[in-house]
Amino acid sequence: MARAETDVGVCRNPQCPNGASGARLERYPGPGEWCPACGERLEVADGVLPPELFDRLHHALGFTVPQPARRAPSPWAVGGAIALVAVALVVALLALKGGLRPASAAVRVCSSSMTARLADDVVAAWSAGDERAASRADAASGAACDVRFSVEPNASRDRVVAHDALVVIVNPANPLARIAERDVRAAVAGTVADWSALSSARGPIAVLLPPDAGDEGRLLAQTLLRGISPGARVTRLPSSAAVTRVVASASGRTALGIVAFSASVPARVVALGAGPPPSSLSIATHRYPLSFAVVADASHDAGERAADLVRFARSRGAQSIAVHDGLVSRDGI
């Protein structure tokens, strides 16, 4: 699925005029991803956090993020939606009559929270304008998959598309550069509750994590947080990107998050333990302890077109797509 080149975003900085008013701003790749008034990274307008999470963030960080106003659909939009439904019905009838290739010819592609963006972009590039070449599904939905993009701790090189990792992030104004694994575990459990125990910073630690049902939550439970029950001050947000937005914002100075490396910009990434800090090279070689392989596999009975998609995903040509999406290339360069 190709994404639009331009979009609408909202600023989350309550001290910014745009953030306080919930103004909708043009959001486009590059400089347009940040608010022109305060430099806050813009959130896609359709990706607004649920009200209950705003309440939790207010409790954890001491601020309230304004909800952007939702406009009623215009008569033109309603008319357009009706027209689209009519077109869809005509297409379905033509397909039943054999006028179009049946939907079953599409390659069914599944992904997960840390692989969804890569899967979308690889499928879009492979499809080359043929929108029927592949259909997308959520790996958690239980749908049958011809091709599956997933994350594994270890994988043979011939299956690897790219690499990603779990990293600890803090606000850019936080001086912390390295943190011990035991201190991360203590902060998540709530036994260490103030920054003064970890660095020269002061204030209560607000721990923000991605949902436990996604790749990040599953991998954290299997590795860094094994045997740890999150404390009362831990807030779960819908995605790694949502955690990073809050941690890197002007209001996230006391926050600590754990996110996918591919979604960590523009927060400050903290080295973990005594090992090398997370970087393209240390993640590609798995010298960084929480590194993982992003793989693409076809089911054994998927057919040649699915196998062709997997070959493309694993090819050298697809490496630029992975790097564009924030992942680490297969070779780390």
pTM of the model: 0.72
Structural contact between residues 216 and 258, judged by C-beta atoms closer than 8 angstroms: yes
Residues 6+ apart with CB under 8 A from 111: 118, 119, 120, 136, 138, 139, 148, 149, 150
Predicted pLDDT of residue 61? 74
226: β partners:
none
- Rounded Cα distance between 226 and 76, Å, is 53
- Alpha carbon distance 253, 267 (integer Å): 11
What pLDDT was estimated at residue 295? 97
Confidence at residue 31, expressed as pLDDT on a 0 to 100 scale? 65
**pLDDT cut 90: percent of the chain above it:** 56
Segment 9-34 mean pLDDT? 77
State how far the Cα of 70 lies from the Cα of 137, in Å rounded to an integer.
28
Q: Place 16 in a pLDDT band, splitting at 50, 70 and 90.
A: confident
Whether the CB-CB separation of 66 and 20 falls below 8 Å is answered with: yes
More confident position, 174 or 97: 174
CATH of domain 162-284: 3.40.190.10
The count of other CB atoms within 10 Å of the CB of residue 127 is 17
Q: What is the rounded average pLDDT of the residues 302-309? A: 90
Helix (H) or strand (E) holding 123: helix 116-127
Check residue 15 and give its pLDDT. 76
Entry field: residues in the chain: 333
Residue 17 confidence (pLDDT): 83
Per-residue pLDDT reduced to its tens digit, 50-76: 666 666 776 777 654 444 344 445 554
What is the chain's mean pLDDT, rounded?
A: 82
Kindly tell me if the per-residue pLDDT of 77 is higher than 70. Answer: no
